[in-house]
Chain A
Amino acid sequence: MGSLTLKQFRAPLLEPIDLHLQAGECQTLSGPSGSGKTRLLRALADLDPCAGEVSLNDQERSTFSAPQWRSKVGLLLAESGWWLERVGDHFKQPQTELFEQLELPKEAINWEVSRLSSGERQRLSLIRLLSNQPQVLLLDEATANLDQANTAKVEALIADWRERHQVAVLWVTHDPQQRKRVSERSWLIESGRLREVS
């Protein structure tokens, strides 16, 4: 269970942001390429230096060590990184039901990373992130490399996950239909400001 609160949070290219994501809530963020969406997510995950306050369940980020924070505030980047040969070597404890939900065979755990398609990489990196049990999810175009059927499966998995675990989700997407399907509130970046989309 996790809520995320931003107070005068300063990410690159953006004016200070005040935002609250309740536990179990999903909000989407869109805007033109280069407007600072990914950089906001990176700053929230503490990958880039930034100023202002951000807290998880009302506990300020500075009270967590950086690895603790990143384990709890999980970031899924559009391009995933893999550092070992086999998929399974990247998991602490792979959750087999997640493979089933995304209709990936259990044997995927033994696949070679170099032979994965971009869609497989994206789905497997989502499973890898969820297996880490984060309390907040920051998703950067989580379905960009997927066809319609797989997009629907990923959306269903995330909806199910946030309901069961009460995680807050901040989802960057370019697709207006997806925005309507997955979120309670939507934000658009315009001239460095966040404007709520009705």
Chain B
Amino acid sequence: MNLILLTPLDLAIAATLVVALALISLRLSLGIEGKLLIAALRTVIQLSLLGLVLKFLFVQSHPLLISALAMFMLFVAGYEVMARQQRRFSGIWGFGVGTLSMFISSFSVTILALTVIIQAEPWYSVQYLIPLLGMMLGNTMSGIAIALDNLTQHAWQRRQEIEARLILGHTWDQSIREIRRNALRSGLIPIINAMAAAGIVSLPGMMTGQILAGAPPMEASKYQILIMLLIAAGTGFGATAAVWIGAKRLFDDRERLRLDRLGKKRA
């Protein structure tokens, strides 16, 4: 490894570029300078804290602490999925649908990768588990958020069609099938596009990071391929689970469309 260590001054130079961008925003009356600076500040604080936490966990390596961090990441991702819904499920379901789906998909795919493919020792080794899980959660989160949002929006807009089918004796499953299929498709398109463009249009973040850290390019490629495939599978399984659970939740035990289980539309 021949990693060039960054000094606070190096980061400060990068930060001045963002400050310059904020000044341009101010000059052009874009009105986003405040948001930009806060987001940049959050990046600095959140990533520094993560660095400190990981440094601590590298030393401790206690399974309980590692699982606590993993659960924290899961809950934050679950909250993000909920926050991105224009019509979220009311009550615990608003948080539960996305969180449960991510738990099922991201955790199982990550554990499979660690135990069967990478075979890290121990499998919960912080160096592998946390970055892998982070990438899985980050991408799965986007896919699930898009798919769930699409599902609830269309169920609301097309309630007349759904109920017309129910009236004619169709089951809940038949009545929402097209909407569910389209929702799932919308959740999967971003990762399909990302895979199609990988290496040609964009140099993926993880590969970039490994190359910067001095890893041989072919090794970095292999890791990136692995991650992209895992992310695609995780997003697909997660979005499928979320859309399935969400669609089921839109109907009660007498197969009535229950849009009252969705909250009010948010801007």
Contact = CB atoms under 8 A, between A and B. Distances in A.
Could you tell me the dominant secondary structure of chain A's interface residues?
loop
A48 B256 contact: yes
Interface stretch (A31-39, A76-84, A188-196): A76-84
A128 B170 CA distance: 13
B28 to A, nearest CB: 44
B166 A83 contact: no
Interface stretch (B51-59, B102-110, B118-126, B156-164): B156-164
Contacts of A77: 163-164, 167
B169 A81 contact: no
A176 interface: no
B252 to A, nearest CB: 7
A74 B164 contact: no
Interface stretch (A52-60, A63-71, A163-171): A63-71
Interface residues of A, number: 22
Given A47-B163, A79-B160, A128 B168 contact: yes
A45 B164 contact: no
Interface in B243-267: 252, 254-257
B84 interface: no
Contacts of B164: 77, 80-83, 125
B113 to A, nearest CB: 41
B interface, size bucket: 10 to 19
A46 B160 CA distance: 15
Q: Which of B158, B162, B164, B252 has the most CB of A within 10 A?
A: B164
A82 B255 contact: no
B256 A68 contact: no
B219 interface: no
B185 interface: no
Given A79-B160, A81-B160, A83-B178, A66 B256 contact: yes
B160 A74 contact: no
B161 A46 contact: no
A77 B161 CA distance: 12
B161 A81 contact: yes
B257 to A, nearest CB: 7
Contacts of B165: 81, 83
Contacts of B256: 46-49, 66
B48 interface: no
Nearest to A71: B169
A120 to B, nearest CB: 16
B182 interface: no
B168 A70 contact: yes
A83 B255 contact: no
A82 B160 CA distance: 8
A83 B169 contact: no
A75 interface: yes
Contact of A67 (B158, B162, B169, B178): B169
Nearest 3 pairs of A and B residues by beta carbon: A81-B164, A71-B169, A81-B160
Given A82-B161, A83-B165, 15 more contacts: A46-B254, A47-B163, A48-B256, A49-B252, A49-B256, A70-B166, A71-B168, A74-B167, A77-B164, A79-B160, A81-B161, A81-B165, A82-B164, A83-B158, A132-B169
